[in-house]
Amino acid sequence: MRDATQALTVLAEIAPAARAELEARLAAIASQMHSNAIFRPCELPDTHFMRFAIIDDPRREFPALLAWESNHDGREAAYLAAVARTTPTISAIFACCTGYPAAGTADVAGWVAWMQAHSHRAAAFYVGYRGVPHLVVQNDLAVHDAIRDALDDADRRALRALSTCDFQVYLRDQVAARRPDLDLSPGDGDRDELRWLVGRIAAGLTALALAPLALVILPVWYVLLRRHEERDLATAYARPIEVAPEARCDEDQVTQNQLTHLVDIKPGAFRLATLWLVLTAIDVVARVLAVRGQLGGITAIHFARWVILRDRRPVARKRRRHRLLFFSNYDGSWQSYLGEFIDRAASGLTAVWSNTVGFPATRHLVLGGARDEEAFKQWTREHQIPSQVWWSSVPEATVQNIRDDIAIRRSLARGLAEPELEELARKL
């Protein structure tokens, strides 16, 4: 589905007088995610992952913000309207924000308009299973569970006597009999492949059209980049950064983890423009090339996004502090996630965060930086902020689990060649 796996980032100023109440409500939700009386994330419609995070400015130049990150299905306005109708208790959270409409979710159109006014577009957005709706993910998890139950109940000797083709038919019939409510159709995989092919062709043609302009601009940009890199100051880390207890205690509770990260962008229009170009390139890659569960060789990311927070204050340009906000939902531990980033995608990471304050020393935009493993991990911890509420609709599933389940369900619905049947057996 084209409208599946979308990104919503809402940032709203917290009313100072309501800060303590907001913190208490978020703590109550986090302690009893499915049974509290305030707001239950599991009741949100068509939502894969979501979080609430309070964003403070250490320098106190910006007001404290409440961030709501949602990875959902459907166009933004339609999704927000569905949230207002099905999960109206979300008002208990945003009522603590400045200017929140008095009618709250009771006025659906007004609520959607207020939320969209506070919505920030992701500069780059990656999905480990792009275009796969939440309902399909849940359906395919259930299909795999039904297959597992069928295999547990089966006579193994009789199963071994079946050909791979008969084995496929047996599994399909067993799932249909046990769970007639499940969808076993092959879905829109071929249509998605065609759409991504068209996207790759369009991206290639655009790159060719811009190539002459790039050849003119690139030498000038490179000279400016080297001048900036020679003047930039990188933070020297003499000892490990102290990790906020509330950030550490949220980690490794389930198969997945989350990261919320905020850092200042280096001053000046050059760094802001360079960052925007790098993130735009990553976004194009994520939408049309990295569509099979890996980004730069990293296979652990469910959803990730970068959001540029522009400083709109009426101050001199040189005093403006643009910031870069990063959200990630990933498999495994924090250490393994950062290690995989360093081993497989250090150049891409460095191209992004070398434009931010304090990042390890970088050369030629992509060299150095994240390859200084200890400094990179310490820098990441220094700018990591806790998420007060984080929820996953598939807390025990990895990206590979989900992609395997999708492939298994699609395999049951169509005739397969022998190699494909062997691959199905391997995934099972």
Average pLDDT, rounded, for the chain: 90
Closest CA to 303 of 252, 262, 258, 337: 258
For residue 317, give Cα distances in angstroms to 254, 263, 269, 312, 362: 44, 18, 9, 10, 25
Radius of gyration of the chain (CA): 24
- Cα 279 to chain centroid, rounded: 14
Closest CA to 4 of 413, 287, 257, 258: 287
Q: How far apart are CA 324 and CA 349, in angstroms?
A: 13
Q: Enumerate the β-bridge partners of residue 256.
A: 331
118-160 pLDDT tens trace: 999 999 999 999 999 999 999 999 999 998 898 888 777 777 7
Looking at the domain that runs over 6-120, which CATH code has it been given? 3.30.70
Q: Using a CB cutoff of 8 Å and minimum separation of 24, what contacts does 154-158 make?
A: none
Which of the four pLDDT bands, split at 50, 70 and 90, describes residue 112?
A: very high
**What's the whole-number mean pLDDT along residues 263-269?**
95
Which of the four pLDDT bands, split at 50, 70 and 90, describes residue 316?
A: confident
Q: Which tops the pLDDT comparison, 10 or 210? A: 10
User: What is the percent of the chain with per-residue pLDDT over 70, rounded to a whole number?
Assistant: 91
Q: Taking 70 as the threshold, does the pLDDT of residue 240 lie above it?
A: no
Residues 287/305, Cβ–Cβ less than 8 Å: no
Question: Cα angle at 421 between 418 and 424, to 5 degrees?
Answer: 155
342-369 pLDDT tens trace: 988 899 999 999 999 999 999 999 999 9
Burial class (CB in 10 A: 0-12, 13-18, 19+), 303: buried
Residues 356/263, Cβ–Cβ less than 8 Å: yes
Q: Give residue 407's identity as a one-letter amino acid code.
A: A
How is the chain split into domains, by residue range? 6-120, 126-130+229-392
